[in-house]
Amino acid sequence: MDSLNLVEYARKLIDIDIFAIEIGYGLLSLADQKQGGDLLARVTGVRKTLAREKGIVVPPISVRDNLELEANDYRFLLRGKCVARGTLLPGRFLAMNVAGSTVRLRGVPTREPVFNLDATWIDEAEKKTAEINNFTVVDPSSVLITHLSETLKVNAHHLIARQDVQALLDHLKATNAALVAELIPDLVNVGIIQRVLQNLLRENIAILNLPLILEGVADFAPLSKNPDDLSELIRRRLGLYFVPEFEARPGVLRALTLDPRLEQVLAGKVHRTPTEVGLALDPATGRHLLEELSRRTADFVSSGQPAVLVVSTEARLPLKRFLEPSFPRLIVLAFQELPAATEIENAGIISAPAPAPVSRVDLKAAA
């Protein structure tokens, strides 16, 4: 091997795909066009859909086999780290009981990988029975593609690099040259804009309206260069565009709210550093909050609606960051983000924790 080829080989070893799909040998037919597989074309379709709906250009996705996986397993890798995985049964269909049917299908019981719904892998003969009884029936390729789409949305903030942001700014110069010139380099740098966009994408807010977002950065940057502060201020301008996605019906947002006493407690527990914001809750308050939300959000899940919590502006971001590990799909909005015409239909109030009982010894000490 000559020196030039050796350098190229070394680069290939060092380079890591930003996003990749690995499949077991039993799923190779899904990606083989000669066998009718349409996986590769559908992966391209997902990338185009996310660009159209979220405003993010998803990098090329590598699809490859991995002999270390079980035959029917697949996994998604983000820069070499597995972020999701699942199992398919080629030649069968996944029937999901979304309508609460009491009919039991003949097949292999399982769980749908995205929303963890009860499901069954059925054969062609059982498909008609499933459809008659209002089961949602999809083929294996569709299961993988739906899982891929949701995984990319959840990880969208990891996919947008500084170079991607620079490319967006370069493209925007053609129509908004004055805006870009005002921002870079006098007000902010590319890294701050990247962090603002990542914050929005992290909570599944589209960055399609980039001029409006950057105008917000330009307006608020003289007040703060902190990306968390900037993205929270910009959310108020974008509320008109993203809040309707969560409405139970036009103009009505069904949501949970907090007891004012609990709001006051949380406001006093906000912890800020130059790079992060969070809640420093005592174990009892934290446990109470998680238990109450777990009980209340179950009603949203059973009705098929997104679980929404509306709080004060000051508490929104730290509370979202605190709840994210336990409730990744919980939508946390601020009252100030809601469009003027949107009404809140209160789905419940998260109560404040009961005060700790005072013992007789404490009473004597107080006396």
pLDDT tier at 158 (50, 70, 90 boundaries)?
Answer: very high
Mean pLDDT of 85-93: 95
Per cent of the chain over pLDDT 70 is 92
Instruction: Please say if the pLDDT value at position 275 is more than 90.
Output: no
Looking at the chain, the domain(s) classified CATH 1.10.8.540 span 160-240
Which token pair is 277? 């914001």
Does domain 160-240 fall under CATH 1.10.8.540? My reply is yes
List strand residue ranges (DSSP E) for the chain, in order: 19-23, 62-65, 73-78, 81-87, 93-96, 108-111, 118-122, 136-138, 252-258, 270-272, 277-279, 308-311, 331-334, 343-350
- Average pLDDT for the chain: 90
Q: Which CATH class is domain 247-350?
A: alpha beta
Looking at the chain, the domain(s) classified CATH 3.40.50.12790 span 247-350
Looking at the chain, the domain(s) classified CATH 3.40.30.60 span 17-157
Mean pLDDT of 238-264: 94
How many CB atoms lie under 10 A from the CB of residue 82? 11
Q: Give the Cα separation of 340 and 342 in Å (integer).
A: 6
Q: What is the pTM of this model?
A: 0.87
Does domain 17-157 fall under CATH 3.40.30.60? My reply is yes
Per cent of the chain over pLDDT 90 is 78
Which pLDDT score is estimated for 9?
Answer: 47
pLDDT tier at 360 (50, 70, 90 boundaries)?
Answer: low
Which pLDDT score is estimated for 3?
Answer: 53
